[in-house]
Structure 1
C-alpha cells in the first residue's frame, strides 16, 4: 500500500472547489477591463476630434485660410484671418514704435554692492500708474544695508510695478544703472523721482541720460503724406483693415514708394484645414468600428459591440455631416461620406467650390450654430469631465472591477480554508495508511 501526498491532494480538491468561481470572476473582470479600455480609446479619439474642431472654429481661425503677399517683407509683416477680404493695398512705414530707456547718473565707481539709502522713496510713473518704492523695504538679506543689486530686484519684482525694468549694464569697466519701459509708445514714457535726502542718489535720478526716446509706430495706408495716417503705441496695428493685423518691423526712408500688400484666399492652407478635420473624424469612425464590430469567422467581436452609447454617437455625427448648412451639403463642395462611413474630399471639386462660394463654405463650417458648432454641441454630453456619459460609464466599470476584486479575495480565502481542511484530512489518512503498512509488516 502506497502513501499519498497530502499537500497535492489538498491543492487538487481546494482548486476543484473554487476554480469555476475564479474563472467566472476572471472572465467578468477581463470583460469589464476590455470595455473600460475601449471606452478610453473612443473617448480619446472624440477629444482629439473636438480639439480639431476648436482649432478650426476659434475667434482667429476658420476653415477658410487667407494669405498676404508683400512686394517687400523687410518693413512689415501681415496676418490675415478668415474675416479678411481679398484685395490689394499700399502701405508705407514711417517709423516703428520704441520703448523709453534711460541711464541714471550714478557714480562712475558703481557696482552691484554699492550701498543705496535705506530711507525715503523712489517713485516711477508710466501711463498714469505710479510705484512709490519704500527704500526701507529693499534689504532682502537683512544685513541692515541696502545695495544697488537689491534695489534692482525690488523694482523688478514689486507687485505694483507699472511696467518699468531696471538693469545693471557693465561696459568698458563701468557699471550703469539703466531703466526702461516694458512697453513701446509715447504713452509709456517713464518718469522717475527720488526723495531720500541723499544728494548723490537723488541727483542720479534727476540727471537722466536718454538712451532711447519713446515713440509710436506710424504707418500710412497708401502713400506717405497723402494716404491715411495711422498711429499706434505698439508696432502691431490690429484689425485696421477687417481681419488683417499689420506689424511694422523697419521704417522706410522718406520719399520711398509705398509697398504693395495683396490679400487672397490660401487654397492649400484651407485644404490642410479640411484634411485635418477629415482625418480626425475618420479616426473616430475607425475607433468606433474596431470596438463595435459584431465579429465573424475572420474578426473578433468588439468589446463594445451593440453598445447603445457608441451607436448614438455614430448616428449623431453621421446625421450632422449629411445635413444642410447655409442651404448646402458637404457633398456639394466636394466632401462626401464613403461606403465605410469615412469622409473623403475631392480636391479639385473643393478648390472649385472655394473659388465660387468661399464665403458660403466658411459660413457652413464656422457660422454660428452651423456644422462645427453643432458637432461640438453634440459631443458635450459625452465628454464633460464631471458629469459626462463616458465618465459615468467608466466609473461604473471600475466599480464592477473593484467588486470582482473583492470576490477574488473572498475566493482566495475560501481556497485557503479548503486547502487547510483537506490537508488535515489527508495528513491523518496518510498517517493511518503508514500505520497499517507497519502493522502488516509485522505479520509479513
Structure 2
C-alpha cells in the first residue's frame, strides 16, 4: 500500500481514485452512445448540406439557362451599343429591326431647399415627431421625423424604409450648404414626386427633372415606354435603351437620326456555350455527390466508406438523373446526348463533350439539339422536375433530413446535459459515502488506540 495515493485520513484508502473509477464506469456506456450518435449526425448534416447546396446551384443554373433561352441557338446584336443593347429570350426568332431612339425614359427628381448648416442641420427642432409625406403615382409614403432629426438622418430613413419601392435620397453639398435630392426608379409620364407634411423640409422644394416616357421607333413604327428596358416590342427580344440616337449629319443636330440595327441570328457558338454550361453545372453537382458517396482506400488498402455511401436518398437521386439522360427527347432526328458528342464516364458518371463531333452535328442539326433541351418536355424541364422533391426548401427530402438531424443533435445535447448532472450527483453521493466511511474508520482507530493505551498503562503498573 506504500505506493497508493492516500486521501482517506482515517482509512488510508485512495477514495478519490475509487470514486473516479466508479463514476467513469457508470458514465462510459451513455457517453459513448452520445458521442457516437452526435458524430454521425454532425457528419451527415454536413454532407447533406453540401449536397443541398450543390443541388440548389444546379437548379439555379438550369433556371438561368431557361430564362436566358441559352439553347435557342440564337444570339442578339446591336449595331450601336452606345444607343441600345439587346438580349434574346424565349420566343425569339431570326430577324433584324431598325431602331431610332428619340427620347429616353426619365424618372422624377426633386431637391429640398439648401440648408446652410450642412447635412447635420437639425430639421425637427420641436419636441414631437413631424411627418414628411412623399407622393408618387397616387401612393403616399409617410416618414416620421423624430425630434432632433438631422437632414442626414432623414435621408438615411428614406433609403432604409422606402428603398424597396424605388425611392432614393442623397445629400448634395456645395459652398452654400446641403440639400437632399430625391429620385425614384419608377419613371415615365405621371410618376412625378411631390413632398408634403409638416416636417419643414417639404416646403420650398424644386423639381430638377420632370418624368418622361421613352420615345422610339422600330421599323418606322412609333412606340412609347415608361422604362428604358423594352421587353414587349419584339417577341422574345429585350432591348435596353442607353442614349438618344445621334443625328445622321453631325452638322445638323435637329435632322434625321441614325438607325441602330437590332439583329437576331442563328449562332452555333451560342448553342455550344449553352450546352457546355449545362455539362459544367451537371458535373459540379455530380462531383459533390461522388465526394459524399464514394468508397476509397486507406494506406493499408482497406475500404473506407464516405458519409453517405449506400444512402437510399442519394441512390434514388442518382437514378433519377440518369433516367433523364437515357430518355430520348426532341423534335428532330437527334434525340440523345451521345449523338452530338456528349459521353458519360462509366466510373464517375461525369459528362464530357467532344467539340469536333458537336461542331459537325450543330452545323446541320442545331434545331434538333435546341429542342432536346428546351420546352416543357426538354431536358432542362425534366431535370428540374426530377430534382424537385429533393430540393424544396422546407418540405424536400434533404430539407426534411436536415431538420430531423438538427432535432437529433438538440436531443443529444439535452442528453449530454442530463448525463453531466447525473455524473455530478453520483460523484457527490459517492464522495459523501466514502467520506463517512473514512470518518467511521478514523473513530474506530481512535477508540482502538485509546484501549491499547489503557491496556499498556495497566501492564506497566503491574510490571512495576
* Aligned-partner Cα distance in 1 for 2:56–2:351: 18
Question: So what's the TM-score if we normalise by structure 1?
Answer: 0.68
Give, in whole Å, the separation in 1 of the partners of 2:144 and 2:22: 80
Partner residue of 2:126? none
Please give the secondary structure, in 1, of the residue aligned with 2:91: coil
Partner in structure 1 of residue 244 of structure 2? 250
Taking structure 1 as reference, are residues 403 and 251 closer, same or farther at Cα in structure 2, changes over 3 Å only?
A: closer
* Partner in structure 1 of residue 324 of structure 2: 320
Higher relative contact order (CA 8 A, sep 6+): 1
Alignment of 1:31-430 (within 5 A): 31-58=40-67, 60-64=68-72, 66-97=74-105, 187-188=189-190, 216-222=213-219, 227-248=220-241, 249-253=243-247, 254-255=255-256, 258-265=259-266, 267-268=268-269, 270-294=271-295, 296=297, 297-326=301-330, 328-339=335-346, 340-412=348-420, 413-414=422-423, 416-417=425-426, 420-421=429-430, 424-425=433-434, 428=437
Post-superposition CA distance 1:202-222 (Å, at most 9, x none): xx99xx9x9878765443434
Describe the superposition over 1:220-278 as per-residue Cα deviations: whole angstroms up to 9, x where unpaired. Answer: 434xxxx4444445444434222223334123323455333332345555444434433
**Taking structure 1 as reference, are residues 89 and 354 closer, same or farther at Cα in structure 2, changes over 3 Å only?**
farther
Using a 3 Å threshold, how does the CA distance of structure 1 residues 283 and 435 change in structure 2: closer, same or farther?
farther
Q: 1:175 to 1:332 in 2, by over 3 A?
A: same
The answer as to whether partners of 2:329 and 2:372 remain within 8 angstroms in 1 is yes
Deviation at 1:178, TM superposition (A): 10
Q: 2:307 is paired with a residue of what secondary structure?
A: coil
Structure 2 residue matching 1:90: 3-state secondary structure: strand
Aligned residue pairs: how many? Answer: 404
**Inter-partner Cα distance in structure 2 for 1:331 and 1:244:** 32
TM-score, normalised on structure 2? 0.66
Matching residue within 7, 16, 19 for 2:16: 7
Secondary structure at the counterpart of residue 85 of structure 1: coil
Answer yes or no: is the 8 Å Cα contact 1:6–1:427 preserved in 2: no
- Give how far 1:314 is off: 0.8
Segment of structure 1 superposing worse, 166-175 or 340-349 = 166-175
* Per-residue deviation, 1:373: 1.8
Query: RMSD of the alignment, in Å?
Result: 5.4
Once the 2 structures are TM-superposed, how far is the Cα of residue 367 of structure 1 from its aligned partner? 0.6
Q: Unaligned regions of 5+ residues in structure 2, if any?
A: 3-11, 124-133, 149-154, 197-203, 248-254, 457-464
Q: Distance in 1 between matches of 2:433 and 2:34?
A: 28
Specify whether residues 69 and 427 from structure 1 end up closer, same or farther in structure 2 by C-alpha distance, changes over 3 A only. same
**Alignment pair present for 1:22 and 2:34:** no
| Secondary structure in structure 1 of the residue aligned to 2:47 | helix
Q: What is the alpha-carbon distance in structure 2 between the residues aligned to residue 377 and residue 343 of structure 1?
A: 20
Specify the SS of the correspondent of 1:39.
helix
- Which one is further off, 315-324 or 7-16? 7-16
Contact (CA 8 Å) 1:11, 1:419: kept in 2 or not? no
Write the distance in 2 (CA, Å) between the matches of 1:164 and 1:426: 76
Q: Deviation of residue 84 (structure 1)?
A: 2.5
Classify 1:347/1:417 alpha carbon distance in 2 versus 1 (closer, same or farther; 3 Å): same
CA separation in 1, counterparts of 2:427 and 2:193? Answer: 89
